[in-house]
Amino acid sequence: MEKTHRVATAIVFGAVLTLLAPILALQLDYLRYHWRLAPSDTHGDKAMVVSAHGLASEIGRDVLAAGGNAFDAAVAVNFALAVVYQQAGNIGGGGFIVYRLADGTNGALDFREKAPLAARRDMYLDADGNVIKNASLRGHLAVGVPGTVAGMVVAHEKFGSMVWADLLTPAIKLARDGFVLSHKGARMFNRYQSDFSELNIHTPNVLKARGWQAGDTARFPMLAETLTRIAKNGRNGFYKGPTAQMIVAEMGSGGGLITQADLDAYRPVWRAPIRFSYRGHEVISMPPPSSGGVALAQLLKGAEPYQVGRMGHNSAAHIHMMVELERRAYADRASYLGDPDFVDVPVDRLVSNAYVKARMASIDPWQKTDSTEIREGHVDRIESVETTHVSIVDPAGNAVAMTTTLNGNFGSKVVVRGAGFFLNNEMDDFAIKLDYANQFGLLGNSQNAVAPGKRMLSSMTPTIVTKDGDLRLVVGTPGGATIITSVFQTIMNVVDFGMSAQQSVNARKAHSQWQPDMVMLERGTLSVPTQIGLMRRGHRLYAWPRFKYELGRVEAVLIGVDGGREGAADYTRGEDDRASGF
């Protein structure tokens, strides 16, 4: 009898532990994060550069120390990242810049990739109208016309103060002489060795028979030669001559569409930024073809009626409020946004106070809204992503927020033979079929359909915040669909919760995007009471592992009341990310 009782007790105890294990693990993560000693901000009285790699940040700092301005530093950092951070730093991709000059003048530069002239709307569908697996993600057909080099050239022509070639010299030296590979750098190269082998007809020098090891000296002589041509000839060093010929030959060898006509036709576009106010701050962000500025305006305007600071950071009420706002903003993204050079994008209406108020009026503080009431649709998946962001403030007070990308890690995984750089897979950012989700689980319609020469919709959200006419915050992040929500939370962390730069960056993040219909959470975000509070409101919770290394890695510069620069690199998630100032 006693033995039977012990067995029954053990069974019950085991069942209870099984039920409680996920909750206990979640609480342990929460306590581990909140007990951990947070790193301090990097301070500089005069200037600050924050990027995804310490070597690139140091190069930007040295440019500023030598008398260059924020745009000079942005050029130098971008080309350095193309060497030391090849999964996202690039010359074969594209991006956006939001800037603010010391006198208050602001603007935006769009050097987003474009669809090749031979692209067609249904190019990724088979004869039955079904999506061809991976055609928009892997290999030559996934590549959009690169814009990064053209973007750097026009930014330097308009605002640069140093000699163009001098800004590329550090990157050329890194590629030619080599640099010590970090643990993350080795891990990333090793993760995609099979893809590099499968998707390249030649043998790129990122392939290594025995794999890469932390501490290896990585040298890229062909990339050094490509950068040297760009240093000598500017735009023509990439879009014409030997490099252009190599790109066209690479496309031809693998069934890609980019021709010399595509390279000749590519031009960046200067655009007026999205500007709006939030609790006495002016926010300046990226307009379409980025969805970032429009969505950020909807989110912050939607949050303004709430007493966010009294909710408690990452409380159930706080996360529920953010999620409900986000689900509506992302539904609008899918319905209305695209390349404004091709389709009518109702920006003014979407960011108007009246529209946002009406759009958010159905939010119930105690109950999740059913997604079908927001807009019909269904998505099951979100995959990987790689983008990189740079925040810069120079001694004069000029600020640059620059986000660049190849889309997925190492883009299409295709390396241009003889030129040594990766090409993007940005074509997947189009809506390749009505309401078919891209790799980030984002939906779209005809507004973002493939068309020759069209720019694909993006989530990149380089942003600058001012208060009373003074620079306050420069911020941005990688992370695909999570870019917008990470910038949203970082701004609230500073404005509503009074966090320092590093605190706002380190704070655990939550994300929702309407579809998939769930709340994606970083480990360490939730206490047990918060988890229960969200579940009682009807939310489905998912601890998303991608947050750890690939998403939510904010790079920020916060300007203190004394004018000092507080740099915050997200090295709790990114490992190599660093701030460097003086």
pTM here is 0.91
Question: Cα–Cα distances in Å, from 432 out to 199, 288, 414?
Answer: 21, 18, 21
Identify the pLDDT of residue 441: 53
Please give the average per-residue pLDDT across 191-209, as a whole number.
95
CA-to-CA distance for 93 and 107, rounded, in angstroms?
21
Please give the average per-residue pLDDT across 30-38, as a whole number.
50
- Per-residue confidence band for 37, with pLDDT thresholds at 50, 70 and 90: very low
Nearest to 152 by CA among 263, 240, 238: 238
Look up 388 and say whether it is catalytic: no
Helix H, strand E, coil C: the string for 239-259 is: HCHHHHHHHHHHHHHHCCCCC
pLDDT at 16 over 60: no
Please give the average per-residue pLDDT across 254-282, as a whole number.
98
For residue 326, count other CB atoms closer than 10 A to its CB: 24
- Please write the tens of the pLDDT for every residue from 337-357: 999 999 999 999 999 999 999
Tokens of 71: 């745009």
- Please write the tens of the pLDDT for every residue from 387-431: 899 999 999 999 999 999 999 999 999 999 999 999 999 999 998
Mean pLDDT, the chain, integer: 89
CA-to-CA distance for 406 and 421, rounded, in angstroms?
11
DSSP-derived 3-state class of residue 50: strand
Q: Where on the phi/psi map is residue 279: left (φ > 0), alpha (ψ -120 to 50), or beta?
A: left
pLDDT at 35 over 50: no
Least confident stretch, 26-40, 445-459, 477-491, 509-523? 26-40
Residue type, 355: Y
Residue type, 325: L
Identify the pLDDT of residue 28: 54
Cβ within 8 Å of residue 14, ≥6 positions away? none
pLDDT at 526 over 90: no
Please give the average per-residue pLDDT across 269-289, as a whole number.
98
CB 451 within 8 A of CB 121: yes
pLDDT at 486 over 60: yes
Identify the pLDDT of residue 520: 87
Residue/partner pairs of 497-501 with CB below 8 Å, 24 or more apart? 497/308, 497/309, 497/313, 498/309, 500/41, 500/558, 500/566, 500/568, 501/41, 501/556, 501/557, 501/558, 501/566, 501/567, 501/568
- Please write the tens of the pLDDT for every residue from 242-256: 999 999 999 999 999
Nearest to 558 by CA among 520, 518, 501, 506: 501
User: Catalytic: which of 228, 387, 463, 490?
Assistant: 387
With a pLDDT cut of 70, the percent of the chain lying above it is: 88
